[in-house]
Amino acid sequence: MSEVENLIQKAAKARENSYSPYSNYPVGAALLGADGNIYTGANVENGVNDLSICAERVALFKAVSEGTSNFERLAVVCEDEYCKPCGACRQTLIEHAPDLEVIMANPDGNFRTVDLKNLLPEAFSLGE
């Protein structure tokens, strides 16, 4: 199994833990650290929508809170043909991993790969 297929499989597995009773839109993510560790996440919704969190940020926050700071790839899986991270996730990810490769996939394993910088051109940064 290739690294990309492995990440997609782990994201699909994480998706099973989604708590999405309001949107009925489960999402799973798997983030590959440069150290080879994989951090997974699922979206967790709340009745107060602003308190919900996306799968991509769950995976990123888990990784950062465990001391990982360099990332290579992120796989995101949902029912759409290609599961695209939302704007908030793109902005959060670009701060921690501007050179990240994003694998947008569905549960059938179909995917498309894009660089994060192409998903969020001219991203906001306090350093500029």
Nearest to 55 by CA among 92, 83, 15, 87: 15
pLDDT band at 126 (very low <50, low <70, confident <90, very high): confident
Does residue 94 register a pLDDT over 70?
yes
What's the domain range around 98? Answer: 3-119
Residue 25 in domain: yes
Residue 127 in domain: no
Query: What is the average per-residue pLDDT within 77-98?
Result: 95
What is the number of helices (H) and of strands (E) in the chain? Answer: 4, 5
Residue 109 in domain: yes
**pLDDT, mean over the chain:** 96
Give the active site residues.
56
Nearest to 37 by CA among 13, 14, 55, 60: 60
pTM, rounded to two decimals: 0.95
101, 115 in Cβ contact below 8 A?
Answer: yes
Total domains in the fold of the chain? 1
Give the CATH number for residue 90: 3.40.140.10
